[in-house]
Chains A and B, each alone.
Chain A
Amino acid sequence: MFQTVLPYLLSGISVGGQYALIAIGYTMVYGILRLINFAHGDVFMVAGILMVYISAAGVPLYVSIPLVLVATAVIGFTIERVAYKPLREAPRMSIMISAIGVSYTLQNLVLYFTGGLNQQYPTIPFISDTVTIFGATTKRVTVLTPVLTIVLVAVLVLLINHTKIGMAMRAVSKDFETSQLMGIKINAVISTTFVIGSVLAGVGSMLYFTNYTTVIQTSGAMPGLKAFVAAVFGGIGSIPGAVVGAFIIGICESLIKGLDIILIKAGITKSMLGLTTFSDAFTFALLIIILVVKPTGLFGEKTTDKV
């Protein structure tokens, strides 16, 4: 039984870790700006494309990896400055539409540069090596992803709870205007948030595309959507919530894909039921159930309306 479930569990944990790194970007920006940054999934994809082009130019990995992370941070920073900052006083709907605009602009720019062809992601040695765990063969990245995710999240939580900028972030997320009155440089805080979110998306893209090596302009859409769902699932605005939500979604998705086989091996059913087809449907149905039972998500704060 364990032998049957293990491969699905492994790929679920790995996918979950990658969703988690993207989901943190969604949840942090939401926590501070109350904005759902639809362009975040595309920043993730652009990080992948940058890696392809930078590596193709013959840059060695120890340069290209930091370079991609810096470039992704710059992109996140620029997006915020160009498309969101001028709209800070505008109705929330306008800034959201602006985010959708950024998302499609990025996709179409990449479409233009790649000509719509799939780009093969460069192989990063060590993490793309094949390893065997309890008889299940997989890439090393599968095992490293959850570890790396948890380490990064721990660092992030420390940063938010124990540094000055972290304190400023918490203040801004509690009350935007009052914190401004208290002398917090709100633009710097927001920019930092975008930079952190983008760097994590960049790390996520390296892990994700090492596993699934094709990058195309729409590559960010599905992981972006799933990560967003994970953020809502865990309670949007909460970083541990986003991580837990992402792992639950990744594991669920993967287990449902193998459910038919697991059921047959366990002797519960005799033939294939065709359940794999519904892997996405199950995931999203689960989201609806959780939200109906707990509208603020698993770790969401209870919102009290202040008069």
Chain B
Amino acid sequence: MKKIIALALVMMLALTASAVAETVKIGVFEPSTGDSGAGGKQETLGIQFANKNNPTVEIGGTTYDVELVYADNGSTSDKAPSAAQSLVSEGVSIVLGSYGSGVSIAGSPYFADAGIPVIGISCTNPQVTVGNTHYFRICFIDPFQGTVLANYTKNTMNGTTAYCLAELGNDYDVGLVHYFKEAFEALGGTVIEETFPTGTSDFTSYLNNATAIGAQVFFAPVSISYSTQIVEQAGSLNVPYALLGSDTWDNNVVIEAAKGTNLSIYLSTFYQEGGNPEFDENFKAWLNSDSEALTNNGGNDMVAAVSAMGCDAYNVALEALKAAGSTDPKAVNAALGSVTYDGVTGHIAFDEVNGDALRDTAYIKTANTTDGVWDFVTVQSIAK
């Protein structure tokens, strides 16, 4: 009996081994639950869309099927390591993600140990790629984003006092507030900074604080679930200042909360719907044909910037696999640095120091509270 079982197991192993020979696995390291779940799902949608369009890749003369392997990092730094480990043990060649810098930083060492390269899609904290050779990213970084927002606040909105709110212990929030403050103070503005503990749902006190100090701008680069609360409560308090968000705010859940209020909301992001009409059209058609995808996008067919970024990240990963000519993670890692790609969100190339994308523009959007959509305002670069 034991022999038969052993034989069966060996056969199964052989079968899996032969199956692996024809597929290449790409890890999707994204939150599908927790505070950033909505954003993670939209980023994953971009990857799935790209995978549907390019399901195979030619590596070293053989055509491989691409298999996406998912791991939910739960939006928290304590769940990220086990999600990362599960991808490592699945034997993925390259990993895409994550939405949220904190989870990316928490997962990073496990990928480094296994020699697996990672392409960050929308994790903007500089710490993600500093001091390592395996983490790359295709988005701009926070010193840039913070400066862009500070410039916009100072020059276009004529703001002199900004109130900044961050979630305590969240690398993304705290980092971005820091860079914003640095840039805004250099421009001669005043910044008041406060933090709130994880799990807060009453933001009225913070909103009142900003009113009391006479701020013109309320800058809160927080996760989606907090930003919807802030928008909702700011709407009912009828706050006298403008709300300023970062790339996390570019989500239809946030705009739903803002609909019908008198708020003025601005944010910076990676991509503007309409930037690539062909992509928009195909993506929307796909969303509308797949009810689960539509639900994951928040129930409508708005194109989130992170979906476009996810699509580009997948294609960059395919380019890296082609350039490496192998599915070995180390070879892919070596090849990834010199990959260039013209994607939906523009030209993508990596710098040689940290593997960050060479990006010099961000899109500023504002909330159209009557129709419940994000309107394009301007392309803002760092130039004074």
The answer to whether A and B belong to the same complex is yes
B209 near A118 with CB under 8 A, answer no
Q: How far is the CB of A96 from chain B (nearest CB, A)?
A: 23
Q: Residues of A contacting B33 with CB < 8 Å? A: 111, 115-116
Instruction: Give the complex CA separation of A272 and B256 in angstroms.
Output: 34
Q: How far is the CB of A83 from chain B (nearest CB, A)?
A: 25
A120 near B194 with CB under 8 A, answer no
Asked, given contacts A138-B236, A213-B228, A213-B229, whether A11 binds B197 with beta carbons under 8 Å apart, the answer is no
Q: Is B175 an interface residue (CB 8 A)?
A: no
A118 near B224 with CB under 8 A, answer yes
Q: Residues of B contacting A222 with CB < 8 Å? A: 199-201
Q: Residues of A contacting B326 with CB < 8 Å? A: none
Q: Is A174 an interface residue (CB 8 A)?
A: no
Q: Residues of B contacting A122 with CB < 8 Å? A: none
Q: Residues of B contacting A138 with CB < 8 Å? A: 204, 236-237
Q: Chain B 305-343 against A: per-residue CB contact (8 Å), 1 yes, 0 no?
A: 000000000000000000000000000000000000000
Among A86-94, A196-204, A232-240, A254-262, the stretch that binds chain B is A254-262
Q: Is A276 an interface residue (CB 8 A)?
A: yes
Q: How far is the CB of B45 from chain A (nearest CB, A)?
A: 13
Instruction: Give the complex CA separation of A276 and B194 in angstroms.
Output: 7
Instruction: Give the complex CA separation of A257 and B203 in angstroms.
Output: 9
Asked, given contacts A116-B33, A118-B37, whether A277 binds B253 with beta carbons under 8 Å apart, the answer is no
Q: Is B41 an interface residue (CB 8 A)?
A: yes
Which residue among B38, B205, B228, B237 has the maximum number of chain A CB atoms within 10 Å of its CB? Answer: B205
Which B residue's beta carbon lies closest to that of A123?
B260
Q: Residues of A contacting B41 with CB < 8 Å? A: 115, 117
Which A residue's beta carbon lies closest to that of B31?
A116
Q: Chain A 192-228 against B: per-residue CB contact (8 Å), 1 yes, 0 no?
A: 0000000000000000000111101011011100000
Q: How far is the CB of B266 from chain A (nearest CB, A)?
A: 22
Q: Residues of B contacting A105 with CB < 8 Å? A: none
Instruction: Give the complex CA separation of A19 and B253 in angstroms.
Output: 27
Q: Residues of B contacting A257 with CB < 8 Å? A: 202, 205-206, 209
Instruction: Give the complex CA separation of A219 and B201 in angstroms.
Output: 9
Q: Is A166 an interface residue (CB 8 A)?
A: no
Q: How far is the CB of B72 from chain A (nearest CB, A)?
A: 8
Q: Residues of B contacting A274 with CB < 8 Å? A: 193-195
Instruction: Give the complex CA separation of A158 and B228 in angstroms.
Output: 40
Instruction: Give the complex CA separation of A115 and B298 in angstroms.
Output: 11
A118 near B236 with CB under 8 A, answer no
Q: Is B54 an interface residue (CB 8 A)?
A: no
A214 near B229 with CB under 8 A, answer yes
A120 near B228 with CB under 8 A, answer yes
Q: Is A265 an interface residue (CB 8 A)?
A: yes
B228 near A117 with CB under 8 A, answer no
A11 near B201 with CB under 8 A, answer no
Q: Residues of B contacting A137 with CB < 8 Å? A: 236-238
Q: How far is the CB of B330 from chain A (nearest CB, A)?
A: 34
B236 near A128 with CB under 8 A, answer yes
A116 near B212 with CB under 8 A, answer no
Instruction: Give the complex CA separation of A15 and B200 in angstroms.
Output: 12
Q: Residues of B contacting A258 with CB < 8 Å? A: 205, 208-209, 212
Q: Residues of A contacting B298 with CB < 8 Å? A: 117
Interface set, chain B 214-262, CB cutoff 8 A to A: 224-225, 228-229, 232-233, 236-238, 253, 256-257
Q: Residues of A contacting B228 with CB < 8 Å? A: 118, 120, 213-214
17 example contacts (A-B, Cβ-Cβ < 8 A) are as follows: A7-B208, A15-B202, A115-B37, A118-B38, A118-B253, A137-B238, A211-B233, A212-B232, A214-B228, A214-B229, A257-B205, A272-B192, A276-B194, A276-B196, A276-B205, A277-B196, A279-B197
**9 further A-B pairs in the complex, CB-CB below 8 A; given A117-B38, A219-B201:** A7-B204, A7-B208, A15-B202, A139-B236, A257-B205, A258-B208, A272-B194, A276-B194, A276-B209
